[in-house]
Structure 1
Amino acid sequence: MKRGIGISLWRQIHEQLKTDIVKGLIKPGDMLPTEHTLAARFDVNRHTVRRAIQALGETGLVITRQGSGTYVPETVVDYAVKKRTRFSETVSEQSRVPTLQVIESFTQVANAKQAKVLELNRGARVLCIRTLGGADTTPLSLADHYFAAGRFPDMARVVERCGSISIALKEFGVEDFSRQSTRVTARMPNREQADLLQQPIQRPVLMAESVNVTADGKPLEYGRTLFAGDRVQMVFEPG
Structure 2
Amino acid sequence: MASDALQAGIERRTGIALWRQIADAIRAGISSGLGDDAGKLPPETELAEQFGVNRHTVRSAISALVSEGILRAEQGRGTFINQQKRLTYPISKRTRFSASLAEQGQQAISKLLTHEKTQANAEIANALKISQGAPVLSLHTVGSADNVPLSRTSSWFDAERFPDIVTYFQSLHSATKAFAAYGVDDYVRQSTRIDACHATLDDIEIMRLSPGAIVLVTHAINADMNGSPIEYSKTRFSADRVNLQIDLEGLSF
TM range (shorter): 0.7 to 0.9
The equivalent residue for 2:178 is 168
What RMSD, in angstroms, separates the aligned Cα atoms of the two structures? 2.1
The equivalent residue for 2:193 is 183
Cα distance, 1:28–1:191 mapped onto 2, change above 3 Å = closer
Aligned partner (choices 94, 100, 124) of residue 90 of structure 1: 100
Report the CA distance between 1:119 and its aligned residue.
1.1
The equivalent residue for 1:238 is 248
The equivalent residue for 2:72 is 32
TM-score normalized by the length of structure 1: 0.72
**Which sections of structure 2, spanning at least 5 residues, go unmatched?**
1-39, 41-65
The equivalent residue for 1:223 is 233
The equivalent residue for 1:79 is 89
Q: Distance in 2 between matches of 1:222 and 1:237?
A: 19
Cα distance, 1:95–1:27 mapped onto 2, change above 3 Å = farther
The equivalent residue for 1:101 is 111
The equivalent residue for 1:45 is none
**Residue 137 (1) aligns with residue 144 (2):** no
Partners of 1:29 and 1:73 within 8 A in 2: no
Residue identity in the other structure for 2:139: I
**Residue 119 (1) aligns with residue 129 (2):** yes
Aligned partner (choices 152, 161, 168) of residue 151 of structure 1: 161
Partners of 2:137 and 2:156 within 8 A in 1: yes
Q: Distance in 1 between matches of 2:107 and 2:132?
A: 41
Q: Distance in 2 between matches of 1:235 and 1:182?
A: 12
Report the CA distance between 1:125 and its aligned residue.
1.7
Residue identity in the other structure for 1:202: G
SS of the aligned residue for 1:159 comes to helix
- Shifted more, 141-150 versus 155-164: the winner is 155-164
The equivalent residue for 2:205 is 195
Over 6 Å off, 4+ runs: none
The equivalent residue for 1:205 is 215
Report the CA distance between 1:201 and its aligned residue.
2.3
The equivalent residue for 2:19 is none
**Which sections of structure 1, spanning at least 5 residues, go unmatched?**
1-13, 15-25, 40-48, 54-61, 64-71
Partners of 1:28 and 1:74 within 8 A in 2: no
Q: Distance in 2 between matches of 1:91 and 1:100?
A: 12
Q: Distance in 2 between matches of 1:75 and 1:134?
A: 15
TM-score normalized by the length of structure 2: 0.68
SS of the aligned residue for 2:72 comes to coil
Partners of 1:28 and 1:73 within 8 A in 2: no
Q: Distance in 1 between matches of 2:165 and 2:131?
A: 22
